Amino acid sequence: MKIDTEKLLMIPGPTMVPAEVLNAMALPIIGHRTGEFGELLVDTTEKMKKVFQTKNDTFIITGSGTAAMDMAILNVIDKGDKVLNIVNGNFGDRFAKITLAYKGESIKLENEWGDMAEPEAVKEILDKHDDIKAVTIVHNETSTGARNPIKDIGEIVKDYDALYIVDTVSSLGGDYVDVDKFNIDICVTGSQKCLAAPPGLSAITVSEKAWEVIEKTEKKSLYLDLEEYKKKYNEKKQTPYTPAVSLIYALNVALDLVLEEGLENRFKRHEKLAKATTAGLEAMGIELFAKERARSVTVTSAYLPKGVKDKEFRGLLSKKYNVVIAGGQAHLTGKIFRIGHMGTAKEIHILATLGAIEMALKELGVKVENGVEVAEEILMG
Amino acid sequence: MKIDTEKLLMIPGPTMVPAEVLNAMALPIIGHRTGEFGELLVDTTEKMKKVFQTKNDTFIITGSGTAAMDMAILNVIDKGDKVLNIVNGNFGDRFAKITLAYKGESIKLENEWGDMAEPEAVKEILDKHDDIKAVTIVHNETSTGARNPIKDIGEIVKDYDALYIVDTVSSLGGDYVDVDKFNIDICVTGSQKCLAAPPGLSAITVSEKAWEVIEKTEKKSLYLDLEEYKKKYNEKKQTPYTPAVSLIYALNVALDLVLEEGLENRFKRHEKLAKATTAGLEAMGIELFAKERARSVTVTSAYLPKGVKDKEFRGLLSKKYNVVIAGGQAHLTGKIFRIGHMGTAKEIHILATLGAIEMALKELGVKVENGVEVAEEILMG
């Protein structure tokens, strides 16, 4: 195995992980049916709840964010149940695919990719169908760098029977999320984004209203059955199946770092980094992809300059300048690039990334203005 | 977070993990959509195939062994399909529970816990029902320390249409498994047992015969859908969803250690450690639980001596003597104890464990003969 350990990882997750978090995984494994593990699980879960800002039951799952998205749907719908899937990107669409995989009826509210969903449009659909069982939305569309107004939409959904299911995979710990204030019934996130822990874990919160639905829903999985997680946690402070012990060590330390910095400070840092990144790119003469009113604070998306090929551009950035950024997904492949500035990302990373982009584009024959200096102005502020 | 790093972990998984495997997780995270990760995934998958002894498609899953067991069933059965679940322990029973969770019809072939399944009995059921879609069996019942004759049963199942699904979670890499020779259609394992990697990953192999069934089976999950894994691996050498990158680093190094030692040598080591453990316990005057003909080489189970309380015994072992062993599961709780001697377990660990058991039992007022010396004789051989 040979891993290049010198690259700057500026993709929208997994993110760079601080050494003290990585080193936690070098600790010996402990038995997952011991009291010692129980204490660790409770401690980690309680910290997760603080970050989610919730009193709802919260579970840590061994599996990626998609596993938690799967759980959010399969535990609350039966065959034929209507789900309103708000779609303005690849992950919004993933909720629709999951709805169909479990034989639900997916009502899609589609918005332009790169823009946000309109709360009023959600209300209209909820008024039209009185039997919608759940509304799904992605807070921060990793695929487009656009942010949805989950607080405003939560204000609407709370007046209906439908459960409010929110994916905060690439926002929790970097952007303002308050599960209880936003009336979120089921909130899912991943370890490898704004929490800056390694990938492989996800987390899910479940409200009382959601439990009432879950209890009446037919079992459709063993590994992803929420009631198994609840039972084992309440009875023994354990997980129903073997958890990724080392990843839980890492998540525990990563959550300490999040809480030490403080959620408010963390949100402000992400906002500043996003502002510097977008201003820097714009100063270079690069067109941003996400609409201004919908811009994410954790992921910036921009069009590839004319004539620049995605593979060539990102290849040069990675191979010559050691900066790894992401391309587009689905129909945006080859059209946009994406920069993740989340987790423990700092001023230095933004400067290095913008500078490397300048160099790579110049090398590819693109006329580029200086963007780094503009970014500096914001980063100093 | 406070972890006791000084204990000897002698439970039947997770096992102790060598420092070089743990340290691999301290490497920086790489992007999972990069060519570099693709190479790592292919390399790790190819090593996994060598250990499975198979040419079949093989996938590494972010999730525990139960996730892979879930996949083995949900991808091959539709509602009402008959599955023959061979049950002689907790994990055999888990396959039956999964069958029911996906609305299959579970035909249970139950055997005494601690004993093995009879190949002839399997044949009888397959002859009686001509529409059994799959046969499930657990090679090494972690819950009882008993081993099933998966080679002999494979010889029978291959003459029927039914798929042969085998759980080798606590045997692969420690006991003789040859997926292709044993005619196994779907074989699942976990990272945290005989492979001595950290918990959190599982692996699954899929035969051509199994793919034919999978293609005709209704989708019942997104996260655990095998065709998504196949498609993404074949097209891009990637996983469909974010994998636990750090755990794959660790698994890669752990597989190197397995292959360096050599499968044959590894099987012999496990056999010797098992013999020493059982002989040592018997010499002490402790009654073994699993029947002699069915004894596992990776887990030894034994009755708690009369009057000895499980919690008191294992508590003393762990707190005073720093040896962690497991109790019984399901109806065996409080009746048996289990020692795992798998992965990178060595002579020293058996000696220490047997010695600690002697001390703990003496302290609890049990008359115990010397077992360590008897074990030494075998370990020297």
Specify whether the CB–CB gap between B115 and B291 falls below 8 A.
Answer: yes
Measured CA to CA, the distance from residue A106 to residue B22 in angstroms comes to: 44
Does pLDDT of B2 surpass 90?
no
pLDDT in tens, B262-306: 999 999 999 999 999 999 999 999 999 999 999 999 999 999 999
Residues of chain B positioned with their CB less than 8 A from the CB of A220: 101-102, 220
**Are B86 and B200 within one domain?**
yes
Residue B365 CA: distances (Å) to CA of B307, B309, B360, B371: 9, 12, 9, 17
Q: Does B265 touch chain A (CB under 8 A)?
A: no
Residue that is last in its domain, among B260, B288, B318: B260
Residue B189 counted as domain residue = yes
Beta carbon pairs, A and B, within 8 Å: 243
Residues of chain A positioned with their CB less than 8 A from the CB of B22: 25-28, 246
**Residue B146 pLDDT grade (very low, low, confident, very high; cuts 50, 70, 90):** very high
Residue pointed to by tokens 């090398």 = A363
Nearest to A33 by CA among B199, B278, B114, B70: B199
Q: Does B258 touch chain A (CB under 8 A)?
A: no
Phi/psi of residue B70, nearest 5 degrees: -55, -45
* ipTM surpasses cut 0.90: yes
Specify whether the CB–CB gap between B324 and B311 falls below 8 A.
Answer: no
Nearest to A13 by CA among A305, A326, A380, A296: A326
Q: Does B14 touch chain A (CB under 8 A)?
A: yes
Nearest to A1 among B29, B43, B318 (CB): B43
Measured CA to CA, the distance from residue A358 to residue A284 in angstroms comes to: 8
**Are A245 and A271 within one domain?**
no
**Are B329 and B375 within one domain?**
yes
Amino acid of residue B1 = M
- The pLDDT score that the predictor gives to residue A333 is 96
State percent of chain B over pLDDT 90.
98
**Are A284 and A216 within one domain?**
no
Residue that is last in its domain, among B206, B228, B260: B260
Q: Tell me the average pLDDT of chain A.
A: 97
pLDDT in tens, A336-376: 999 999 999 999 999 999 999 999 999 999 999 999 999 99
Residues of chain A positioned with their CB less than 8 A from the CB of B11: 31, 33
Six-digit token string for A273: 């980094």
Cβ–Cβ below 8 Å for A101 and B249: no
Residue B269 counted as domain residue = yes
Residue B326 counted as domain residue = yes
Q: Where are the beta strands (DSSP E) in chain B?
A: 8-9, 57-62, 82-87, 105-110, 132-138, 140-141, 146-147, 163-167, 186-190, 201-206, 299-303, 323-324, 326-327, 336-340
How far is the alpha carbon of A127 from chain B, nearest alpha carbon, in Å? 30
Residue that is last in its domain, among A221, A244, A260: A260
| Residues with Cβ within 8 Å of residue A246, at least 6 apart in sequence | A24, A25, A27, A29, B22, B25, B198, B199, B200, B246, B247, B250
CATH number of the domain where residue A32 is located? 3.40.640.10
Q: Does B333 touch chain A (CB under 8 A)?
A: no
Measured CA to CA, the distance from residue A301 to residue A109 in angstroms comes to: 22
**Are A222 and A313 within one domain?**
no
Phi/psi of residue B156, nearest 5 degrees: -80, -50
Residues of chain A positioned with their CB less than 8 A from the CB of B200: 62, 200, 242-247
**Per-position DSSP letters for B225-261, written without gaps between them:** -HHHHHHHHHHHS--SS---HHHHHHHHHHHHHHHHH
- The pLDDT score that the predictor gives to residue A1 is 86
pLDDT in tens, B15-43: 999 999 999 999 999 999 999 999 999 99
In 3-state terms, what secondary structure has residue B61? strand
Q: Does B23 touch chain A (CB under 8 A)?
A: yes
Sign of the Cα pseudo-torsion (A26, A32, A35, A41, in order): positive
Does pLDDT of A119 surpass 90?
yes
Is B110 buried (19+), middle (13-18) or exposed (0-12) by CB count in 10 A?
middle
Q: Does B314 touch chain A (CB under 8 A)?
A: no
Q: Where are the beta strands (DSSP E) in B286-349?
A: 299-303, 323-324, 326-327, 336-340
Q: Does A34 touch chain B (CB under 8 A)?
A: yes
| Residues with Cβ within 8 Å of residue B130, at least 6 apart in sequence | none
Residue A193 counted as domain residue = yes
- The pLDDT score that the predictor gives to residue A2 is 87
Nearest to B168 by CA among B336, B54, B278: B54
Nearest to A172 by CA among A155, A191, A185, A156: A191
How far is the alpha carbon of B200 from chain A, nearest alpha carbon, in Å? 4
User: Total structural domains in chain B?
Assistant: 2
Q: Does A66 touch chain B (CB under 8 A)?
A: yes
Measured CA to CA, the distance from residue A240 to residue B205 in angstroms comes to: 24
Q: Which residues are registered as beta bridge partners of B107? A: B84
Residue A2 counted as domain residue = no
**Are B314 and B338 within one domain?**
yes
pLDDT in tens, B343-356: 999 999 999 999 99
Six-digit token string for B211: 């793919």
pLDDT in tens, A74-102: 999 999 999 999 999 999 999 999 999 99
How far is the alpha carbon of A320 from chain B, nearest alpha carbon, in Å? 15
Amino acid of residue A172 = L
Cβ–Cβ below 8 Å for B220 and A252: no
Specify whether the CB–CB gap between B276 and B372 falls below 8 A.
Answer: no
Residue B3 counted as domain residue = no
Mean pLDDT of B370-380: 96
DSSP A175: B
pLDDT in tens, A43-67: 999 999 999 999 999 999 999 999 9
**Are B203 and B217 within one domain?**
yes
Cβ–Cβ below 8 Å for B242 and A190: yes
pLDDT in tens, A181-228: 999 999 999 999 999 999 999 999 999 999 999 999 998 899 999 999
Measured CA to CA, the distance from residue B80 to residue A252 in angstroms comes to: 43
Nearest to B59 by CA among B193, B253, B240, B246: B240
CATH number of the domain where residue A375 is located? 3.90.1150.10
- The pLDDT score that the predictor gives to residue B64 is 97
Six-digit token string for B130: 């001509």
Which pairing describes strands A132-138 and A82-87: parallel, antiparallel, or unpaired? parallel
Q: Does B38 touch chain A (CB under 8 A)?
A: no
Residue pointed to by tokens 């620049």 = A308
Mean pLDDT of B84-91: 97
Mean pLDDT of A158-172: 98
How far is the alpha carbon of A362 from chain B, nearest alpha carbon, in Å? 24
Q: Does B40 touch chain A (CB under 8 A)?
A: yes
- The pLDDT score that the predictor gives to residue A208 is 98
Nearest to B26 among A26, A192, A199 (CB): A26
**Are A119 and A225 within one domain?**
yes
Which residues span the domain enclosing B60?
19-260
Cβ–Cβ below 8 Å for B1 and A74: no
**Are B87 and B209 within one domain?**
yes
Nearest to B343 by CA among B261, B247, B275: B261
**Are B149 and B75 within one domain?**
yes
**Are B250 and B125 within one domain?**
yes
Residues of chain A positioned with their CB less than 8 A from the CB of B253: 1
Residue A348 counted as domain residue = yes
- The pLDDT score that the predictor gives to residue A17 is 97
Phi/psi of residue B236, nearest 5 degrees: -130, 0
Residue A278 counted as domain residue = yes
**Are B244 and B283 within one domain?**
no
